[in-house]
Amino acid sequence: MSTQTKTFKTEVSQLLDLVIHSLYSNKDIFLRELISNASDAIDRARFESVSKPEIQEPEGGWKIKLIPDAEKKTLTIIDNGIGMSADELETNIGTIANSGTKAFLKELKEADAKDRPELIGQFGVGFYASFMVAEKVELITRRAGEEQAWHWTSTGDGTYEIEEAERDTFGTTIILHLHTGEDTEDYTAEWKLRGIVKQYSDYIAFPVVMDVTRQEKDEEASKEGEDPVMKEVVKEETLNSMKAIWTRPKSEVTEEEYSAFYKGTFHDYEDPLTTIHWAAEGTTEFKGLLFLPKSAPHDLFYNDEVKGLHLYVKRVFIMNDCKELLPGYLRFVRGVIDSSDLSLNVSREILQNNPLIKRIGKNVVTKVLGTLKDMQEKEPETYENFWKEFGRVIKEGMHTDYANKEKISHLLRFESSKTEDGKTISLKDYLDRMQPDQKEIYYLTGESRAVVENSPLLEAFDARNLEVLFLTDTIDEWVIPALDTYEEKPLKGIHRGDVNLDSEEEKAEKESVRKDAEEKYEPVLAALKKSLGDKIKEVRFSSRLTESAAVLVADEHGIDANMERMMKAMGQVVPQVQRTLELNPKHPVLDKLKTMVEANADDPEITEYAELLRDQALLTEGGELENPARFAQRVSKLMAR
C-alpha cells in the first residue's frame, strides 16, 4: 500500500488550533493523555484476551514505556495494548473527537458485558494534545489478532499520511518530534518526565517504565585498596507507584501503608490522627480516602487559599485542590476522591457535572462529621486533642453550613466553671449535668479563662451550683447567635440583659428587697447616674451579685465588652456602647454613698466613688480603663483615708 495523504474529517483548522492552544492550561497534560490512552488500550487487550486466546499477555507483562532522545529531540511512548487496524486508525485518529474508547464502552453497555474495564478516554481529543509540544507526530500501531501494522504521520496542519508498516507485536508506538526553542521545555529530561508521571499518572494500573543510566561500581575492573572503577549501567525503572490504596478493600490496607501514603502525598511528618476510607455506592459512586491531621498547619486561620481534596477520575489525576468537595470549615482535611461517574469537559480540567460534585461533597461532609461524632463518643481523649487543634475552625460551620448546623452543634466543646483549665465538655455533657429545674444553658464570653472565671457575674451561679460555659475563643461571639438553642434548651449569656435564677418565693422575697433598696437608695442611684452621665445606660440593683459591689451588663441584644474589644482589634468602627451598671443591694459601700449624698448631693467625692465603681466593674470583665493613671490616683487617695 502506497502512502496516502488524507484530510481530517472535521473543521480541523479551527478544532486543532483549539486543542493545541486553548484546550489545556498546562502543556504537561499531553503526557497524562497519552499514558491514559495507553492504559485504556492495555485494559481493552486484557478484556478481549478472556475470549480470544490469540491475545496473550506479552513477555515482560503489560506496560507503557517512555523513550526520550535528547539528541534527536524526540519522545516515544510505547504500549502493548490492543492497537488499531487501518479502519480504526482512520476512525479514531483521523476523525477528531471520535473516541474509540467511548464507542467501545457503548458496545459493552449494549451487550451488557460483565466485568467491563474502567476506561478513561471519553472525547478522542487527548491524543491531539501531543501537538502542544510536538511539531510532528508519528504513530505506528498493530491491532491484536492482525499481522499488518500501520504508520500514521501528521504535523497538525489539517492533513495526515497513512501507510503500511511493520511492528513485531500488537500495540502502539507514538513518536513525538518535539518543538525546539528558548520557550520550550525539555520533555526528554529524566527529572521532567518523572515529575509529570508522578503528578498525573502515579496510580495508573500498569507500570510506566523508562530506561535510565546510572553509575555503578565495576566489580571486575575495581581493585582492592584503590578507588573503585565506575561504569555506566542502563536499567529499566518503573516511574509510577501503581499503589492507589483507596481502590483496595479497607481490610487489606495496613496502618503503615495509610501513614506512608499520607506523609508522602501531603508532606506531613506526623502520622494522621485518623483515616477515613470508604466506597460510596448508589446513585453517586466514588471511592474516598481522607485523613485528619494531628496538628493544625500554621496558616490554618491566616491563609485565604482554602485547600481541597485531590480529585481523580478512574485513578487519573484531574485536580490538585478541588474546593467544591470541602467546605471552608473542613479545610484541614486531606485526601483523595476517585470517581468513575464524574463527567469532565473535553480537557478533563474543568468539571461539567456540578450537581454530581455537590453530591460527592455532601457525602464527604457527612462522612467527616460522622467520624468526628464517633471519635467524640468512643475516643474522648483523642477528640479532646483534635478539638484543641481544629475546634476554632469547626465552629465556622455554624454560620457557613446551615444544612449541617445540628450535626456541628453536637461536636462543639467549651471550657466551663466546672472543668479544669484546658479541659472541655460538649453541650450534651452540659445537659446531662444540668440542675433538675434548670431551663437554660448559661454561658459567659471573655478574653480568657482567667478573666471569665474571676468575673463577679458568676457569684450567683456558683452559689446555686449552676454550671456556666466559658466562651473565650474570638469566634464564639459569632457561634452563639447561630446556635441560639441546643436540644430545645435556649442559650443564655449571663452578661446580658436580666438574669433570674430564683424560685417564685425567692423572686417575691428579692422583689421586696429590691423595692426597699430602690426606695432607700434612690438618691444614690440618681447621683451615680448623674456622675457617670453617658458612660452608662442606667444604674440598677442586681440579682447576680453576692460579694462584689458592681458589675457592667450588656443589653440582651447589644454589643458586649468582648465583642467591643474584638471589633477594635480588627480596626472596625465601634458604635457608642452604653451598658448598665448593676449594684449589689447588700454591699456596705451603698450606705457610705447614701451618707455622702444626704450630706451634699453635689459633693465631688461622689463622682470619684462613681468612677471607681465603674472602673472596678470594667477591670473585672477584662476591659481597659480610659485613664489608668487617674484610677490609680483614686485608689491611692482612698487608701490614704
Q: State the pairing for strand pair 230-238/134-142.
A: unpaired
CA atoms of 72 and 110, how far apart (whole Å): 46
**Which grid coordinates are listed for 78?**
510505547
**Which grid coordinates are listed for 12?**
480541523
108 or 530, higher pLDDT: 530
Strand ranges in 282-349 using DSSP code E only, listed in sequence order: 286-292, 309-313, 316-322, 334-339
Structure confidence at residue 109 as a pLDDT band (50, 70, 90): low
Question: What does the pLDDT read at residue 432?
Answer: 95
pLDDT tens profile 110-143: 655 555 554 445 435 678 788 889 999 999 999 9
**Which grid coordinates are listed for 107?**
458496545
SS3 226: coil
CA atoms of 391 and 385, how far apart (whole Å): 9
596 or 425, higher pLDDT: 425
Structure confidence at residue 156 as a pLDDT band (50, 70, 90): confident
473 or 379, higher pLDDT: 379
Question: What does the pLDDT read at residue 616?
Answer: 86
End-to-end CA distance of the chain: 119
CA atoms of 362 and 86, how far apart (whole Å): 47
Question: What does the pLDDT read at residue 275?
Answer: 96
Question: What does the pLDDT read at residue 122?
Answer: 44
Query: Structural domains in the chain?
Result: 4-238 (3.30.565.10), 245-383 (3.30.230.80), 412-493 (3.40.50.11260), 504-640 (1.20.120.790)
Average pLDDT over residues 303-316: 74
Question: What does the pLDDT read at residue 559?
Answer: 66
pLDDT tens profile 340-392: 777 654 444 445 446 888 889 999 999 999 999 999 999 999 999 999 999 99
